Amino acid sequence: MKQSVDQFLNYTTVERGLSPNTVAAYRNDLSQFVEFLGSYDSSLNGNGSWTNVDSDAVASYVLELYARGYSDTTRARKVASTKSLFNFLLDEGAIDKDPTENVSSPRVGRSLPEALTLDEIDSLLSVPNGETPESYRDRAMLEVLYASGIRVTELVSLDIDDIDLDQHFVRCMGKGSKERLIPIYHHAVEAVDEYLHRGRPLIEGPKSERAMFLNRRGERLTRQGMWLILKGLAEKAGIQRKITPHTLRHSFATHLLSGGAPLRHVQELLGHASITTTQVYTHLTSEHVRAEYEKSHPRA
């Protein structure tokens, strides 16, 4: 059974091109599922056969997730991971019936992303104003994040050649290994240029290679490292609520739409495969829409 899980994970990486984070989530979820099956029925241990897993076993697993107190979002993800595995096994001919066919996932309400205000953005971007290598780096990272709306994984994966300072754009590889070019404003270009000339040379080392953003050891900055840096900067900016690198992505999209950018353009910049994913941001611009309505409608 574990071998089949490994084959499925390899399939998600090689053929579907899923991100390492998504594959890691699949691995954790399915390891838990296999462990549960072994405790549910001794014949369904790691060396058992998937053909012996029936709908009752899957239903018991779902009940176990409830009993453990997982949130709706987490349970929905774990059930989805299980369904994906059985779809793969069915396509590969390893099973002749999908035991998850009639299993429904928990309904998860879509929470609206919370964007920073323009004043909060200004406060945050003004925090790293020193002349240390870290200040130059942090200023460049914040400017690039807000200028492009790229994901934190895409940010820390950038190499020096991925930001064109002459043409003012960032090249990044998104989900599914899809490349996109994103224009960035001149303040971001200036911040990156200053970092490359006055910050990065002072912290680069043998392991730096072509990585754009480095930690103090001269190695490529990690997602976790970026999160900690942003947390500290937000505290210094006096931002009380919790923010993450994704908050800047939300803010980028919201402020563009509030400024009148077409939804399709924002979809392309964010790298969303479906416009329905981008449409969640339209709810955040209702205040802007009302203001425009009241300003322009003859009877408003």
Q: How far apart are CA 196 and CA 179, in angstroms?
A: 23
Q: What is the amino acid identity at position 118?
A: L
Residues 6+ apart with CB under 8 A from 223: 152, 153, 156, 245
Which are the catalytic amino acids? 151, 175, 246, 249, 272, 281
Residue 275 burial (CB count, 10 A): 12
> For 84-105, b where at least 16 C-beta lie within 10 A, e where not — what string?
bbbebbbeeeebeeebbeebeb
- Judge contact between 247 and 264, C-beta under 8 A: no
Q: How many CA atoms lie within 13 A of 10 on its CB side?
A: 6
Question: What is the dihedral sign for C-alpha 268, 272, 275, 280?
Answer: negative
* DSSP code for 168: T
Q: Give residue for tokens 């406060």.
A: 123
Residue 195 burial (CB count, 10 A): 24
- Measure Cα distances from 62 to 42, 83, 105, 189, 238 in Å: 18, 12, 9, 50, 43
- Sheet strands (E) in 64-166: 163-164
> For 57-66, b where at least 16 C-beta lie within 10 A, e where not — what string?
bbeebbeebe
